[in-house]
Structure 1
Amino acid sequence: MDERFTTFVTGATGFLGSSVARALVARGHRVSALARPETPRGVLDGLPIAFTPGDLTDPASLALGMAGCDAVIHCAADYRIFVPHPGPMFAVNVAGTEAVMRAAMAAGMRRIVHVSSVATLKPRADGSPATEADAATPAEAIGPYKTSKTEAERLVERMVLEEGLPATIVNPSTPIGPRDRRPTPTGRLILEAARGNMPAYVETGLNLVHVEDCAAGVVAALEHGRLGQRHILGGQDVSLAELLGYIATRYGRRPPFRLPRGPLFPLAFLAETAARVTGREPMLTLDGLRMAGHRMYFTAAHAQAVLGFHARPWREAVDDALGWFTEQGML
């Protein structure tokens, strides 16, 4: 590595962000992290990280955290499939992204990595893997999460073109693995399947990547990513049937059976209505059913060529996720 950065990381206490912080330290970069005072930091225990209390809505804490840094990795995001009120999600994912980019510009950062998502890309109708060229507009995105992430990515792109923002963009696919403490929607699916709580499923396809491989790709983008370009950080394309079947076999259970999408929309509506009363996130959602109508397959060929990105087999990522859930007493 030719250059080491002092890097300000948002979302460092989160799932992907904690792996990014670990990867930065392992590569010899110094790390400063933004964290709310009440947020648990156990996933970063033992790491030489300087914490700044605050959040994305507080410009003063952003400026304080970036002081003495020369690079930013913006990992923080509100990642949920169902939100009863989308406003706070847009405040974090869109307004928060702009606040970080503006603060980075004001602080004179030399390198910025915006951690976006494949949610900003359009799955191909024929089921073939999408590339960085398959950009979606916010109007084409399904649900608040994908819409907000698409708006944020387009914002960063405009700032690169119009204001000279020194940013590169990475688009993780579906990270899975250890330290998914919340867990994420995909982590929750894996956890519930391992518990035997998913007797049935709606077929779809997704791209699975080990969270630590994804984090290594984020750091590689910091070191030599192409400014203004997207880099998909993905692993292997996997059908949901294959994923759930693997987990069922691992625990000696029968694989779940497949359900048609159409008849489930009224049930999803009822599940969301109940969730608004109970405050508990539903397993079945309208946006989830809409997304299931697409094979969310992607290729990481560009990141492999530019960043030297590599992803281990998806089953290893699933095993590591299940192992961590077991160690934490969640499974």
Structure 2
Amino acid sequence: MAIKVFVTGGTGFVGANLVRLLIQKNYQVRVLARNYSNLNNLKNLDVDIVFGDLNDTNLAEKMRGYKILFHVAAYYSLYQIDKNQLYNSNVLGTRSILKAAKQANVERIIYTSSVAAIGVKETGEIVNENYQAPVDKIIGHYKKSKYWAEQEVYRAIKDGQDIVLLNPSTPIGPFDIKPTPTGEIILRFLRRKMPAYVNTGLNLIDVRDVAHGHILALEKGKTGQRYILGNKNLSLKALLDELSLLTGLEAPERTLPIWLPLTFAWMEEYVLSPLGKKPGIPLDGVRMSKKPMYYDSSKAINELNISYRPIRDSLQDAIDWFVNNGYI
């Protein structure tokens, strides 16, 4: 008999890649999707889709009979206007799904957090799972919501639930349907709409390696532990140079002083947004870029035995997916 797994967020970037891998490994998959979700990432897949929301009162019934829960779903936005939805989905939604999993006698839960919940050091140095930024130093409501969602997870663990936490860094690769902020960087580069860049850095990982990390966490992860899933620390300039090598397009050479996008983003969010104009650059996103977001994933390598594919290959696959799906 195939092991039955329940997945939230299966229509999204990480979730869709996870669902594909679970099917390949002969798991029986049920996906929770909202009534208005874009289901393109699940097209032609052998999955059972049930419709609902993380805060529904009947989640336990939808989950009953499933041994494993992958709670991947999260609301992502860096805009101030989405504050309430961030906490409702990411914090209250996590509390709700964990409660339902307990009622449904789910045996093991893999919770997809984010390096956002860990934060960064003021010095900009590389950090691992042992570091935790004070919550008042974590920038933006998205990152804070992921921190508070982790606190819900730790409470559930203390109450007896078997949960492993995963903290992916910045995934890239196929099925970036929305796309993600990093996908947007790739697209802006491909569309030649990135004449300059800010001095920042991030950690990249192939989204398929993130999915593989979820399976490894199920098999080898320790209850109550969190594992950073991240591959390569790169400056934004180095990322753009990689894209240039792959595409033959010229990488920008000019840097932007941080005050310029800060001023522009502040004007959009606090002046134009109340007038009905959707902001193009989130203020919190610019504020985050003031410090490089570098992480050490040695723990996942040593304890989960995860391996990573070359980032250049991942970038090429991301480019190909965007091109083949009409984004360019």
Q: Deviations over 1:273-321 (max 9, x none)?
A: 4345455351x33212221121111111111111111111212111111
| CA spacing shift, 1:85–1:36, aligned 2, 3 Å | closer
Partner of 2:321: 324
1:1-331 to 2 correspondences below 5 Å: 5-60=3-58, 62-161=59-158, 163-256=159-252, 257-272=254-269, 273-278=271-276, 280-282=278-280, 284-331=281-328
Does the 8 Å CA contact 2:120/2:133 hold for their aligned counterparts? Answer: no
| CA spacing shift, 1:25–1:171, aligned 2, 3 Å | same
SS at structure 1 position matched to 2:106: coil
| CA spacing shift, 1:5–1:281, aligned 2, 3 Å | farther
Aligned residue pairs, count:
326
Q: What is the Cα deviation at residue 41 of structure 1?
A: 1.8
Q: Distance in 1 between matches of 2:277 and 2:213?
A: 35
SS at structure 2 position matched to 1:86: helix
Does the 8 Å CA contact 2:64/2:105 hold for their aligned counterparts? Answer: no
SS at structure 2 position matched to 1:232: strand
Q: Distance in 2 between matches of 1:277 and 1:5?
A: 51
Q: Deviations over 1:151-172 (max 9, x none)?
A: 00122112212x1121110000
Does the 8 Å CA contact 1:168/1:226 hold for their aligned counterparts? Answer: yes
Q: Distance in 2 between matches of 1:6 and 1:83?
A: 38
| CA spacing shift, 1:253–1:48, aligned 2, 3 Å | closer
SS at structure 2 position matched to 1:85: helix
SS at structure 1 position matched to 2:81: coil
Does the 8 Å CA contact 2:121/2:133 hold for their aligned counterparts? Answer: no
5+ long unaligned stretches in structure 1: none
Q: Deviations over 1:177-212 (max 9, x none)?
A: 111111111111111111111111111110000000
Letter in 2 for 1:134: Y
Q: Distance in 1 between matches of 2:54 and 2:29?
A: 17
Q: Distance in 2 between matches of 1:277 and 1:180?
A: 31
Q: Distance in 1 between matches of 2:143 and 2:79?
A: 11
Q: Deviations over 1:121-170 (max 9, x none)?
A: 13234443210011234322100110100100122112212x11211100
| CA spacing shift, 1:271–1:79, aligned 2, 3 Å | same
Q: Distance in 2 between matches of 1:83 and 1:263?
A: 19
Letter in 2 for 1:151: W
Q: Distance in 2 between matches of 1:276 and 1:222?
A: 45
| CA spacing shift, 1:225–1:281, aligned 2, 3 Å | farther
Q: What is the Cα deviation at residue 263 of structure 1?
A: 3.9
After superposition, the CA RMSD in angstroms is 1.7
Q: Deviations over 1:25-50 (max 9, x none)?
A: 11222111101233222212232211
Q: What is the Cα deviation at residue 4 of structure 1?
A: 6.0
SS at structure 2 position matched to 1:289: helix
Letter in 2 for 1:247: L
Q: Distance in 2 between matches of 1:85 and 1:211?
A: 25
Q: Distance in 1 between matches of 2:78 and 2:240?
A: 19
Q: Deviations over 1:65-98 (max 9, x none)?
A: 2021011010000112224231011110100000
Q: Distance in 2 between matches of 1:39 and 1:184?
A: 16
Does the 8 Å CA contact 1:72/1:109 hold for their aligned counterparts? Answer: yes
Q: What is the Cα deviation at residue 15 of structure 1?
A: 0.6
5+ long unaligned stretches in structure 2: none
Q: Distance in 2 between matches of 1:323 and 1:23?
A: 20
Q: Distance in 2 between matches of 1:276 and 1:241?
A: 34
TM-score, L = length of structure 2: 0.94
Does the 8 Å CA contact 2:86/2:145 hold for their aligned counterparts? Answer: yes
TM-score, L = length of structure 1: 0.93
Q: Distance in 1 between matches of 2:108 and 2:208?
A: 21
